[in-house]
Amino acid sequence: MRILQPAGFLHRCFTSLLLLSGGLAALSVQAQDKARPEAMPEVKLSTAQSPAFPLGKAAARWAELINQMQAATFAIKLYPGATLSGRDPAREFGALKDGPADLAVGSALAWSAQFSSAGVYALPWLSPDASQQEAVASSRVLFDLVAARAERSGVIVLAVAAAGDRVLATTKNPVRMPAEAAGLRLRVTGVPLAIDTWATLGALPQSLDFAAAQAALTAGTLDGQDALPTALAAQRITATGQRIVTRGGGLSDAMIFAVRKPVWDAWNDAQRQRVRAAALQAAREAQAPAREDAALAELVKQGVTLVTLAPAQRAMFRAAVQPVWDKWTTAIGPDVVAAAEAAVAAAVVAAPRPAQ
């Protein structure tokens, strides 16, 4: 079912909601509306975040690049906040596959809920540092395997970009050892891979919306949350008692640029080439890990204590989540997981050794 753009009073309400969830998103959408000729058909681009965050910014840039194409016969309109999938990022792949969305820039971790193979980019403690995350995101062998599976589901994957790693914000103590996660009441993204990871470590993962999480943190019934640093910096987490952030390299993520297959098939070769080139350029420009690093620096300025795990500590966490790997390797595909591991191994070999 196609979702029609609201008009009049409903349009103003819709715009107000976007302003509340991210003012830049509303401005971006309005600018696209003004630039699009009325007779030009609209192509819907879904993303879970506003352009104030790396994922949303990458989607906005892709839309901009496509709309700048000469002789375009359609116009891209950005729908941030996962509005085309009921405001649930975990349902965005389904919205793309089934038709509410025509294009999407999604989180691999979120998409793993409906497209298991996307979870390869977010396997816990697969790629705990930036160079390894980039190696996984840029692996052509891995890309081809994931893209082939996506195409069988009705989705054409055009590009993948590293999105950085999630961190753990807590109210009392850092989590340096797997045993220290036991019993912690944590807000986590409501995606099976993330829930499985924290439950395996003995934590008590909960999927809460923002308001409920804030209330629980204030009341002391929640011990922390797993999130991207950009989200934590925007929340100013010290106000709710979260004063420690542990960077453990656990759940990394990737951005996936994709198109619904019937839309792709309807375009001619020149259109496909331009849309793919725009996706690759937006992916190159994303630099999401650098923005997440900047957010960590901002968190320190806000009064947060940052704890970074040593390689030996990360190895203990990786061993502790082996049951998650066993379960998800079957769901993702052993050949897909093997390709990701090979990309990480190559990055480790290529990494410069510290000075003696």
Tokens 């106000």, residue located: 239
Tokens 């966490």, residue located: 317
DSSP state of 5: P
Both tokens of 186, joined, read: 């944590």
Tokens 């029609």, residue located: 4
Give the strand pairing for 42-47 and 75-79.
parallel
**356 vs 129, 352, 353, CA distance in Å?**
21, 12, 9
Give the global pTM. 0.87
Domains of the chain are 8-164+253-286 (3.40.190.170), 167-248+295-320 (3.40.190.170)
Closest CA to 111 of 125, 103, 122, 124: 122
The sheet with strand 252-260 has its strands ordered as: 75-79, 42-47, 103-107, 252-260, 155-165
Strand partners, 155: 260
Tally Cβ neighbours within 10 Å of residue 22. 19
Closest CA to 101 of 80, 113, 118, 85: 85
Q: Quote the CA–CA distance of 178 and 147 in Å, as a whole number.
A: 34
Q: Quote the CA–CA distance of 282 and 260 in Å, as a whole number.
A: 18
pLDDT one digit per residue (tens) for the chain, 356 residues: 333 333 333 333 333 333 334 444 444 444 444 444 456 789 999 999 999 999 999 999 999 999 998 666 889 999 999 999 999 999 999 999 998 999 999 999 999 999 999 999 999 999 998 999 999 999 999 999 999 999 999 999 999 999 999 999 999 999 999 999 999 999 999 999 999 999 999 999 999 999 999 999 999 999 999 999 999 999 999 999 999 999 999 999 999 999 999 999 999 999 999 999 999 999 999 989 999 999 999 999 999 999 999 999 999 999 999 999 999 999 999 999 999 999 999 998 876 665 54
Tally Cβ neighbours within 10 Å of residue 30. 12
Beta strands in 180-270 (DSSP E): 185-187, 204-206, 224-227, 244-247, 252-260
Both tokens of 32, joined, read: 């696209």
Both tokens of 294, joined, read: 């900047």
pLDDT at residue number 348 = 86
∠77-80-85 over CA atoms, to 5°? 100
pLDDT at residue number 58 = 97
Half-sphere exposure of 135 (CA within 13 A, CB side): 20
pLDDT at residue number 323 = 98
Q: Quote the CA–CA distance of 31 and 16 in Å, as a whole number.
A: 15
